[in-house]
Amino acid sequence: MNSAYSISSKQKKIGYHILFWVCYTLLNHFITFSRHNGHAYIQDSIGQYLVAALIFYCNTNYTLPVFFARKRYRAFALAVILLSFFSFGIKLILYLKILPLFGLPAMSDSLPSLYLMNSWWWYQYTLWGFGYWFVKTTLAREREKSLLVNENMAAEYAYLKAQINPHFLYNVLNFFYARALNLSAELADGILNLADIMRYIINNEGNELKRIPLYKEIEQINNVIRIHQLRFNQELKVTFIAEDDYTHVKINPFILITLVENAFKHRELLHSKSLVIKLNYDPCIALLQLFISHEKTIVPHTPPADVGMEDLRRRLQLIYKEKYHLFVQDDHQHYEINLSIYL
């Protein structure tokens, strides 16, 4: 279908909502018309259900997701009460200024009487909004769970298909290590570090949503640094600081090591100043912080270091939701990563 005539799902949703309120208004108008022997004004019905829709959507799109969903109950109560006065003000403008221009007779009710009637209107459609929002968020949460289950099943299937390859490589690396011992102790140590990383990957593949002791991730960060130092003949200036007590701290695997690896991947560190990696944990608020930084000289045709970053962001959002913050700066002069996670 031509994109100029295609209708998005959001537009369809808006159309369905408009259709509902039009039908709902007409239905109630005809009920009132029949009960009062033809003494009913369509302008009155339009005014009433415009205010009803205002109350409904203010709750479903603002007060409930912004305050109630975040457990800010006092702010939610205040917002709902303010909405009562706001909707009453809108109704007065409609009935005193706008609708009389379209033939609606002047109101005979007093302001207190009108406010009491609007309060019932406000109460009724606030409950409507709460029910609609609750059902919508519950269904969205169930869809998210179903999607996560499907993704995990696909990941486990892919892992089982590739299971032979990591094990085979790990066994070959151990063979190379035994042979390299008599040739070069440095080469043998590099192979041993790589084999250790492979064992770490094999043990945790498919368990990305389960937490492991943080010190195991730190061990692999050190292995990555040693391997890259071996690649560049021990000429890299790398400082890794992790002096806190991480004995009882747990984290999901492959988060920190992915960020550290991105500081090395596709980047000629010999043309830059010292690479600094700092890890800090505050037990009082269970806050883990990783800081990676180095200044660069301009190296032509250097692609960005984004290995696995999209997958990492998705996993962080899935696991920690609003309890993390990831900042990445990568330009010609500076590379910096700040990750904060409330564990």
Q: Any idea what DSSP says for residue 296? A: B
How much is the pLDDT for 3? 42
295-339 pLDDT tens trace: 766 554 445 445 567 778 888 888 888 889 998 887 777 788 899
Residue 170 contacts residue 202 (beta carbons within 8 Å): yes
Average pLDDT score over residue span 178-196: 73
CB-based contacts of 133, cutoff 8 Å, min separation 6:
59, 60, 64, 65
Give the pLDDT score at 78. 92
Cβ atoms of residues 230 and 266 within 8 Å: no
Specify the pLDDT at position 187. 73
Determine the pLDDT at residue 243.
74
HEC states along 225-270?
HHHHHHHCCCCCCEEEECCCCCCCCEECCCHHHHHHHHHHCCCCHH
Q: pLDDT tens for residues 60-114? A: 999 998 888 888 889 999 999 999 899 888 888 888 888 888 888 877 777 787 8
Between 144 and 120, name the one with better pLDDT.
Answer: 120
Report the mean per-residue pLDDT for the chain. 78
In the prediction, which pLDDT does 58 show? Answer: 92
More confident residue, 27 or 157: 27
Specify the range with the lowest mean pLDDT, choosing from 14-18, 26-30, 99-103, 150-154: 150-154
Q: Give the model's confidence band at 284: pLDDT under 50 very low, under 70 low, under 90 confident, else very high.
A: confident
Give the pLDDT confidence score for residue 28 in this predicted structure: 84
Mean pLDDT along residues 260-277: 70
Q: Residue 201 above 80 pLDDT?
A: no
Q: How confident is the model at residue 160 (pLDDT cuts 50, 70, 90)?
A: very low
Looking at the predicted structure, is the pLDDT value of residue 162 above 80?
no
Residue-wise pLDDT for 205-256, tens only, equals 666 667 888 888 888 888 888 888 877 777 778 888 887 777 788 888 888 8
Does residue 5 register a pLDDT over 50?
A: no
Name the band, by pLDDT with cuts 50, 70 and 90, for residue 164: very low
Backbone dihedral angles phi then psi of residue 90, each to the nearest 5 degrees = -65, -40
Give the pLDDT confidence score for residue 4 in this predicted structure.
42
Q: What tokens appear for 325 in the block?
A: 């913050």
Average pLDDT over residues 134-162: 69
Distance CA 282, CA 300 (A): 40
DSSP string, 33-63: HHHTTT---HHHHHHHHHHHHHHHHHIIIII
Output the pTM of the full model: 0.48
Q: Does position 30 have pLDDT exceeding 60, yes or no?
A: yes
Please name each of the domains of the chain with its CATH number. 41-141 (no CATH), 210-342 (3.30.565.10)
pLDDT score recorded for residue 264: 76
